[in-house]
Amino acid sequence: MVLEAKFASHGVLGIAGVLCLIFGLATLVNGPSPEMRVHFGVAAGAGFGFGVITFGLSWIAFKALRNKRLTGPQAMIGQAAIAMTPILAAGELPIGQVEVRGEIWKATLPPNTPPVPAGTQLTVRAVDGLTLTVAP
């Protein structure tokens, strides 16, 4: 069942792990001594319970893999920004500043974009080091 989280087997390893657990516990149903015997309902219940937990955690993990990144430069693209200072067109100095998620970043505009005044709502289009390219 642990291998299910490591390898993409589409549930095959998880099912095999649950079946092995049930069959392993079932061998104790008619154990050699009365102290080691396990009721079949307990064996099946434990296997089913671990199976549900395994598939539930796998489902959560696969959903998390499909989500959008929340860290790194790629997470900034598409975020809303507010111009803190006037931003001039690309290539002109000084570069303006924007606020994104409570952080202040240096920003520039794409080519052929008119300058924007402070307070304008913008969208982050690209990240280049510590400078954002923003557009209205």
Helix (H, G, I), strand (E, B) or coil at 99: strand
All residue ranges of the chain with pLDDT < 70 are 1-2, 4-5, 68-70, 89-94
Helix (H) or strand (E) holding 125: strand 121-128
Yes or no: say if 96 and 84 are a contact pair by the CB < 8 Å rule.
yes
User: Which pLDDT belongs to residue 92?
Assistant: 57
Residue 97, strand partner residues: 106
CATH domain 73-135 topology: OB fold (Dihydrolipoamide Acetyltransferase, E2P) (2.40.50)
User: Which pLDDT belongs to residue 85?
Assistant: 92
Domain boundaries, the chain: 2-66, 73-135
